[in-house]
Amino acid sequence: MSELRNPFNLLTAEHITPDTFLELFGPGILDIYSDYNIWDRVNTIQSVPGAGKTTLLRLLTPTSLIRLFENQSLERYRELYSRLYSLGFFSEEGPSVIGVLLSCNKTYHSLEDLGINNVRKERMLLSLLNSRIIIAFLRSLLEIHSLDFPRDLKRVTIRQSSEFSIPSNLRLPCNGYELFTWASNLEKSVMNSIDSFSPLQAPYLIAHDDLFSVYLINPVNFYIDDEKIQKKVILMLDDLRKLHSRQIKYISSLIVDARAPISIWISKRLETLPEREVFIQFSDFVDTDGQLIIEETIVSKGILPLRDHNPPITLETYWRSKSKIRQFKKLLSEIADRRVQLARDVRQTRTNFSSFEICLKSSLDGLDWIKECRRINEIISNRIINTSSNIQKYAKWIEAIDNKEIPLWEKNRELRALEIKISRTPNQRTLINLSRSNESDSIDNDRDLDSSIKNAADLFISKEFGVPYYFGFDQLVKLSSINIEQFLYFSAGLFEESISNIWIGKSFVLDPKDQERILRSRAEELWYNLKFSIPDVDIITSFIDYFGEKCKNETYEDNAPYAPGVTGFGLRKSTYNMLMKNTRNVSYNQFIKILSICLSLNIIEMRPNVKQGNKEWMVFYLNRYLCILFDLPLYYGGWRSVNSGEIMRIIKTVYKKN
C-alpha cells in the first residue's frame, strides 16, 4: 500500500482493504471480551461516533478471519490471532465462526412513513429483515468456506432440524440458490413497495409475523456438499440507531425474546437512547475501576434479561477505567505506528521513522528554546524576589532550584510552581517557618510542590510567555478523549507536517511550537465542523462557551486553586438523582437535554461516582480537544461543583442568549 501519502487520513474502517485493516488493527481492543461469555447471547456495544464499534465487528467477518488465519505466523498478526484464538474464534482447522454483518443503515426507516398502519409496518420490517439476514448469512457461509458467492450456492442444502415456523411460501428442504432466490425476491418486493412512484400495492403479500431467520441460520440446518457445518454463528447488527426509534424498540425486544440459538451482537451509537437513558448507559454498568455492576435495576428497567444478554459495553467507559487507560495509550501507539509504516513518503525517502511518537518532540530541550527559557527564568525569579518580604530567603530557594541538574524549562516550571505556592500561603511567615525546620534551609520540592501545582505552572508559563503547552505524544493521547477517530484526526495533521518536512529537507521531528499550532488549528476545525451535526446548535454552543469560559477564569487564578486547572463540573449524586427523577421541571429538562446531546456527541464526558468530601459526585468534563480552545490543561481532576440553583442560572443565561 505504498501509494498512501497520509494513512492517517484514510477514512473509516469500512473503507480500508482487508490487508490494511488487519495491519492497522490493534489487538488491545479485544480485551473488552475477555471477561465475558460471548456465545449464544445478545451482546451490545455502544459508544459515541469513532470509538471503534464497526471496527470490532468487521474483524469478525469472514474476509478478516480468513486473512488472519492464513497469516497467523507473521509477526504483525501474531498477537491479534492469539487473542482471537483464546476467545474461541479459531480452531486448528481455521475460523470457527460465521460472522454475519448486517448494516441497519438501509431503507428500514422509510417503512415508517408509508401510509399503512403500525402492525403492517412491523410485518414489512420483519419481512425485510428476514430476507436480508438470510442473504447475508448465505454470503458469509460461502465465504468462510472459501466458496464463491453466488456461484456455489447450489452446493448448500438447507434442512430444517429444529422446530420453528417458516413462511408458507418457503419450501424446505431446498438448496442455497433456491433460498437465495426466495429471499432476494422478498427483499425486492418490499423495496419496490417503498421506492415505487406508484401508490403502495398489496403490502399484505410480503408481511411476516416473526423473525424466523434467526432460527433458520442455525448451522445445524445447513450442509455443504452434504456435510454438516461445524461452526458457530454470530449475527452482527451494526448501527441500530439508523432505524426509526419505534423500530429499534420493536426489534430489540424481539431479539431478546427470541432466545435465538446463535449469538447476536448489536452496535449502536448513544444518540439512539432517550435523553435520560444516555446517563444510565454511562453510569450504571461500570464502576470507577471498570468493573461491571450487575444490578437489579438493570433488569427492572427492562433493558435486558441477564441470563440471555450481556450488559451493554460502553466503549468509552471501559477505556476510561484506571487499569485500561495505559492499555488504550498502547492501542493508539500501535495504530499510529502501523499507519506510519504504510506511508509512501516514509518508504520512498527511507526515513528512519520507526514510530509515530518519535516525530513529536516532547520537551523544550534544544537550542531553540535556551534563550527564551533563560529570559523566563530571570523574569520569574525577579518576580518572586520583588513580591516577597524576605528577599534573602527566597533568593536561596531560587538558587537551590537553579543548582539542580535538570533542564532549564524544568527549572522554570519549579520556579513558577514556587510562585503559585507563595501566592497560596496567606502568611508568608508560615512558609518561612516551614523552611527553618529543614537543615538545608530550602523548600522540599517533592513534598511542597506536588505534580498538580507543577502542571499548573506549565500552563501558566505557556499562557504568560507563549511557550507551547500542547505537544508530545502523551498530550496527543490525552487529546483523543478515548476516541480512536479523534486521535487519528489530530495525528493526521501532525503527520502531514512531518512528511512535508522530509521533502523540503527539514527534520521530520516536529518542534513543540509547530505541534501546538497544528493541534489548535485542528481543534478549531473539528469544533466548527461538528456544529453542523448538533441539534439545537446555538444552545449547545452557548452552553459550551459558558462552561469553557468559567473553567478558564477559575483555572488562571493566581493561586491555581484547582491545579492543574478546571475542565469540568460536578453534580452531587443527590442533585443528579433529582434531575433524573424530576421530569416536570422545565429548566431541569432543558439541562438534561443539553447534557444528553453533549454526551451522545462526545462533546462532554461523564465520570460517575467520583468520591470527594464524603460525598459522591457525577462529574462532567469537556472533551479534551475543546480544552485547547479555552487554553485549559488536558488532565482530568480539576472540576467545580454545581448546585441546582446554578443549573437554573446556567439555563437562564444560555436560553436568554438564544
Query: What is the 8-class DSSP label of residue 480?
Result: T
The residue (of 82 and 175) whose beta carbon lies closer to another protein is 175
If one asks whether residue 12 binds another protein (CB under 8 A), the answer comes out as yes
Residue among 2, 86, 118, 196 that touches another protein (CB under 8 A): 196
CA 101 from centroid of its chain's CA atoms:
21
If one asks whether residue 19 binds another protein (CB under 8 A), the answer comes out as no
- Residue 381 contacts by C-beta under 8 Å, 6 or more apart in sequence? 398, 415
Polymer length of the chain: 658
Residue among 198, 230, 386, 389 that touches another protein (CB under 8 A): 198
Alpha helices in 145-244 (DSSP H): 176-195, 213-216
Residue 453 cell numbers, joined: 501545582
Output the smallest distance, CB 546 to another protein, in A: 20
Cell 442560572 locates to 649
Residue among 23, 122, 187, 316 that touches another protein (CB under 8 A): 187
If one asks whether residue 66 binds another protein (CB under 8 A), the answer comes out as no
Output the smallest distance, CB 162 to another protein, in A: 24
The residue (of 106 and 330) whose beta carbon lies closer to another protein is 106
If one asks whether residue 173 binds another protein (CB under 8 A), the answer comes out as no
The residue (of 107 and 641) whose beta carbon lies closer to another protein is 107
103-132: which residues touch another protein (CB under 8 A)?
105-107, 109-110, 112-113, 131-132
Residue 349 cell numbers, joined: 525517502
Question: How far is residue 272's CA from residue 487's CA, in Å, rounded to a whole number?
Answer: 24
Contact map string, positions 229 to 258, toward another protein, x by CB under 8 A: -------------x----------------
Query: What is the 8-class DSSP label of residue 359?
Result: G
If one asks whether residue 500 binds another protein (CB under 8 A), the answer comes out as no
Question: How far is residue 393's CA from residue 386's CA, in Å, rounded to a whole number?
Answer: 12
Output the smallest distance, CB 121 to another protein, in A: 13
The residue (of 9 and 333) whose beta carbon lies closer to another protein is 9
Residue among 75, 199, 439, 440 that touches another protein (CB under 8 A): 199
Residue among 201, 529, 574, 583 that touches another protein (CB under 8 A): 529
CB 570 within 8 Å of CB 642: yes
If one asks whether residue 522 binds another protein (CB under 8 A), the answer comes out as no
If one asks whether residue 274 binds another protein (CB under 8 A), the answer comes out as no
If one asks whether residue 194 binds another protein (CB under 8 A), the answer comes out as yes
Residue among 32, 97, 135, 642 that touches another protein (CB under 8 A): 135
CB 221 within 8 Å of CB 159: yes
Output the smallest distance, CB 317 to another protein, in A: 23
Residue 589 burial (CB < 10 Å; 0-12/13-18/19+)?
middle
The residue (of 187 and 410) whose beta carbon lies closer to another protein is 187
Number of residues that bind another protein (CB under 8 A): 46
Q: Which is nearest to 268 in space by CA: 245, 298, 292?
A: 245
Question: How far is residue 516's CA from residue 501's CA, in Å, rounded to a whole number?
Answer: 16
Question: How far is residue 80's CA from residue 27's CA, in Å, rounded to a whole number?
Answer: 5
Residue 283 cell numbers, joined: 453510569
If one asks whether residue 610 binds another protein (CB under 8 A), the answer comes out as no
> Count of alpha carbons within 13 Å of 311, Cβ hemisphere only?
23
Secondary structure percentages of the chain, helix, strand, coil, to 5: 55, 10, 30
Q: What angle do CA 533, 536, 541 make, to 5 degrees?
A: 85
Q: Which stretch binds another protein (CB under 8 A): 153-161, 180-188, 329-337, 563-571?
A: 180-188
Q: Which stretch binds another protein (CB under 8 A): 79-87, 324-332, 462-470, 526-534?
A: 526-534
If one asks whether residue 532 binds another protein (CB under 8 A), the answer comes out as yes
The residue (of 249 and 301) whose beta carbon lies closer to another protein is 249
The residue (of 102 and 398) whose beta carbon lies closer to another protein is 102
The residue (of 6 and 157) whose beta carbon lies closer to another protein is 6
Contact map string, positions 139 to 158, toward another protein, x by CB under 8 A: x---------xx--------
Q: Which stretch binds another protein (CB under 8 A): 79-87, 133-141, 208-216, 478-486?
A: 133-141
| Rounded alpha-carbon distances, angstroms, from residue 22 to 15, 65, 137, 542 | 13, 10, 23, 42
Q: Which is nearest to 401 in space by CA: 393, 409, 411?
A: 411
Output the smallest distance, CB 30 to another protein, in A: 24
CB 40 within 8 Å of CB 261: yes
Q: Which stretch binds another protein (CB under 8 A): 186-194, 251-259, 403-411, 632-640?
A: 186-194
Question: How far is residue 611's CA from residue 615's CA, in Å, rounded to a whole number?
Answer: 6
Output the smallest distance, CB 271 to another protein, in A: 8
Q: Which stretch binds another protein (CB under 8 A): 135-143, 317-325, 381-389, 618-626?
A: 135-143
Residue 619 cell numbers, joined: 462529574
SS3 617: strand
Question: How far is residue 288's CA from residue 413's CA, in Å, rounded to a whole number?
Answer: 32
Residue among 14, 227, 474, 549 that touches another protein (CB under 8 A): 14
Question: How far is residue 510's CA from residue 222's CA, in Å, rounded to a whole number?
Answer: 57
423-462: which residues touch another protein (CB under 8 A)?
none
Q: Which stretch binds another protein (CB under 8 A): 70-78, 98-106, 396-404, 430-438?
A: 98-106
Output the smallest distance, CB 110 to another protein, in A: 5
Residue 576 burial (CB < 10 Å; 0-12/13-18/19+)?
middle
CA 576 from centroid of its chain's CA atoms:
24
Q: Which amino acid is at 554?
A: E
The residue (of 197 and 204) whose beta carbon lies closer to another protein is 197
Question: How far is residue 227's CA from residue 157's CA, in Å, rounded to a whole number?
Answer: 9
Contacts with another protein, residue ranges (CB under 8 A)? 3-6, 9-12, 14-15, 102, 105-107, 109-110, 112-113, 131-132, 135-136, 139, 149-150, 180, 183-184, 187-188, 191, 194-199, 242, 529, 531-537
